[in-house]
């Protein structure tokens, strides 16, 4: 059994999956445990739709039709990134993108290949399961943070079970179609998708790891 430290270390974003199903009971158990996540006032603001098989196929088809009609997507209901990202964040985003495309042997100037890789988001990178996270529309920044804690629990519990994940904000670009297909009520805001399945460990896209800045750069210790 993995320790929490091992699960935190093992979790990474996987962008190629095996064609191997994940049993419903496994996911239900993971979500039950993930819901032990803390939330201010114990609001438990999260809601998740779990799609596989024909249901997932139907979503992908509708999304593909939407993107064929408007390749830029449907606009977003929130800024996925701040408009002016600034440094050091811009550099970090750039570096992780460069590492991803380098792993795939896609040069900087090959924009069509980069776009094609990005488009694989809307296939869930071939994962058999897609989780779609939403929360009440009138909830604010604190509740979004609590949803994030729930999502991180899901990813760590997946790692513990030998499963892989990729959180996917990309689905927010097609939020209208997602909302329609899931039948989300007007007062529910779709935030983020998450691909779930078994990693294709032989695929080069999964053969690299993102970096992190050292603790001294983001933590300040006093009084020790």
Residue tagged 């998708």 (tokens): 193
Q: Which is nearer to ligand FMN, 25 or 77 (CB)?
A: 77
User: Which neighbouring-strand residues pair with 133?
Assistant: 48, 192
State the first-to-last Cα distance of the chain, in angstroms, to the nearest integer.
34
Q: Which is nearer to ligand FMN, 86 or 223 (CB)?
A: 86
- Per CB under 6 A, does 210 bind ligand FMN? yes
Q: How many residues bind to ligand FMN according to rule CB under 6 A?
A: 12
Stretch that binds ligand FMN, among 23-31, 66-74, 165-173, 181-189 (CB under 6 A): 165-173
Stretch that binds ligand FMN, among 139-147, 168-176, 177-185, 215-223 (CB under 6 A): 168-176
Beta-carbon-side half-sphere exposure of residue 94 (alpha carbons within 13 Å): 8
Binding mask 131-160 for ligand FMN (x = CB under 6 A): ------------------------------
Residue tagged 């032989």 (tokens): 202
- Could you tell me the smallest distance in angstroms from the CB atom of residue 40 to ligand FMN? 19
- Per CB under 6 A, does 179 bind ligand FMN? no
Q: What angle do CA 64, 68, 71 make, to 5 degrees?
A: 105
Cα–Cα distance for residue pair 32/43, rounded to 1 Å:
15
User: Which neighbouring-strand residues pair with 194?
Assistant: 131, 167
User: How is residue 220 written in tokens?
Assistant: 């300040």
- Considering only residues 52, 134, 153, 168, which one is a binding residue for ligand FMN as defined by CB under 6 A? 168
Applying CB under 6 A, the residues found at the interface with ligand FMN are 12-13, 15, 96, 121, 166-170, 192, 210
């Amino acid at each position: 059994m993995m320790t929490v430290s091992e699960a935190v270390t093992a979790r990474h974003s996987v962008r190629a999956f095996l064609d191997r199903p994940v049993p419903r009971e496994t996911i239900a158990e993971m979500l039950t445990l993930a819901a032990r996540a803390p939330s201010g006032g114990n609001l438990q603001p999260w809601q998740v739709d779990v799609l596989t098989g024909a249901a997932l196929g139907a979503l992908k088809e509708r999304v593909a039709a939407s993107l064929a009609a408007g390749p830029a997507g449907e606009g977003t209901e929130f800024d996925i990134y701040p408009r002016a990202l600034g440094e050091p964040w811009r550099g970090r985003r750039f570096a992780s993108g460069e590492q991803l495309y380098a792993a795939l042997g896609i040069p900087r100037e090959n924009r069509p290949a980069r776009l094609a890789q990005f488009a694989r988001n809307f296939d869930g990178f071939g994962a058999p399961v897609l989780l779609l996270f939403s929360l009440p529309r009138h909830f604010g920044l604190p509740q979004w943070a609590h949803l994030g804690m729930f999502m991180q629990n899901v990813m760590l519990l997946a790692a513990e079970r030998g499963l892989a994940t990729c959180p996917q904000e990309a689905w927010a670009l097609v939020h209208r179609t997602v909302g329609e297909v899931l039948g989300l009520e007007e007062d529910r805001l779709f935030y983020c998708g998450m691909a779930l399945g078994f990693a294709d460990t032989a695929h080069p896209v999964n053969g690299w790891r993102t970096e992190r800045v050292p603790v001294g750069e983001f933590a300040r210790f006093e009084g020790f």
